[in-house]
Chains A and B, each alone.
Chain A
């Protein structure tokens, strides 16, 4: 296993406290960053090849550089801690076990983008992570780390998946219905409260202090050519040791499954969802793939939030799709017509198939409807749903057909 960067403190007793964090070098990166010009911080992060770890995989340094130079009003840093992608549970551990890593990352990021205020949008169901993180913020205020040029507001969500989409999150933060916003304008130009805003994932920002402490080159060297660092893979499903595993992004899916103890139950692998519920599924013979952004893209899937769901031979793919289809129908915000209407319709069709009332032409209808809606909506939610709809049916068509009546 590669060096632990993000989970370096997880085994220490009371690792969530400021004292323990400081004891092991915490906030040294911030002390260093304070002496560095904002533009140089952005450059350093660019050179580290850090890519967003929330799902989209966008280069973090490049994102930071989109804040208009001419802007004189407030700039906001928003942390997306609304971890809701099915099969993903890494940010939760960061918030619970190393909340100061996020605060330190926020301090550095805020300096880089010249933000004086940061919002942390915590998933509503994450009660313990919220408690731990709020307590850490309190400690940071008491220690004078916060409140001296940078403040943090912790905001709890109310349980909507769409509020993890960055502009849906911003709408919700503003007190509105959590509807994603039409782009342009993009958040870096006009985001929260109509001001330039950078939205970063928890894990992404937790990578920033090590980058500043140990240098961009070191971080870039941990990963692949196009993505630096390690990341936290949430491995669940039919594996012997489901857990969060931090490794280099150069690991293959096969190695990762082995790291998690191998396939459980029947012991025979059927399929893997490599990057959270929205990632197209991979079959058992497609797992020799590098688990970075570009590796999975090349394999026709996506790394997304690195939520790895393993399915063994005894798992039913149609039932797995039904669970996901129900999720997407339930979580579609309802703003754009294609997503609002077809997630519900597709769920009804898949449900009917699983119930034994399906027709073979339903399968083609689902694929056609999914393709027609793909790429037509305000946000990426529907494209996230389309991946599973199409890939599950195309790669496991015989399993679906076996359920059909005609």
Chain B
């Protein structure tokens, strides 16, 4: 299904009604999270490089089709093995270490994010700041540090620097 409203020119959803998936669709499509699909693995992209077996399970190519929830079932959230591709706009590709996954819900993630939690999209009203040569986003008092994880930029909640 294509996004019929909202972000112009950008596909905000996974085209997948044809596949019969119940997808949580991008903001502007329906908004409410109902049955959602998460990514639990993927194809390896190299014959010669398959670094560790568990990374296959966690080939989260950041095309997580979660929109509102962040219940990514990555086992090793740190091992973000990418194929140089980004998540689709409109997807809130949050992912968390398993230990905290249960504790964080979609809306809570923004307002009471735990230090160390990660998100692919920032809340609104962030100010980019550089402190001691490191770039941060200060979003209403919650500080995010942009990091490359694989080939994707993720934002990690950190203590206010300096």
A binds B: no
Interface residues of B (CB under 8 A from A): none
Q: Which residues of A contact B (CB under 8 A)?
A: none
